[in-house]
Amino acid sequence: MTKAAKASSSAKTEATAADALEAEIRLAQEKLAALQVQKVDKIKEQLSEAKDRVAKLEEELAAITGDSGKTKTKSTKRKRLSSSDIYQRITEGLRKSGAAGLSQIAIHKETGINYGTVGHFLKTHADIITDNGKSLKEKRYTLKG
């Protein structure tokens, strides 16, 4: 056998060995994927059984206490006030107060509008609202006119 023939034969042997190794790797990867699927299926089954058990326990608890055992949630969300609604509430509150006027906190309590929102309104609507010019704690707001 010549050197070229030996090299060719050696290359073929290495190629078939590499092909066999790649096939073995693919087979191992397929087995691993199958095992992972089985594991996921098993965990899902256990989860389903656990949920069923929890449901049965909740039913038993409800039968004993007469309560559903579920947490109660608020049925209504707090709604945002529109700018026109804020304007209407504050001006109506100031109208009711008359010449005495109201402090910022009194407006907040009277109208139910957030204290900060009232302060912002008073600053941005200086064209329709006047204050008595006293210190912050003594300041009273009234409608102009």
Q: What is the pLDDT of residue 34?
A: 92
Q: What is the pLDDT of residue 6?
A: 60
Q: What is the pLDDT of residue 2?
A: 67
Q: What is the pLDDT of residue 61?
A: 86
pTM of the model: 0.46
Q: What is the pLDDT of residue 15?
A: 77
Q: What is the pLDDT of residue 1?
A: 58
Residues of the chain with pLDDT under 70: 1-11, 68-75, 78
Dmax of the chain from CA atoms? 121
Burial class (CB in 10 A: 0-12, 13-18, 19+), 90: buried
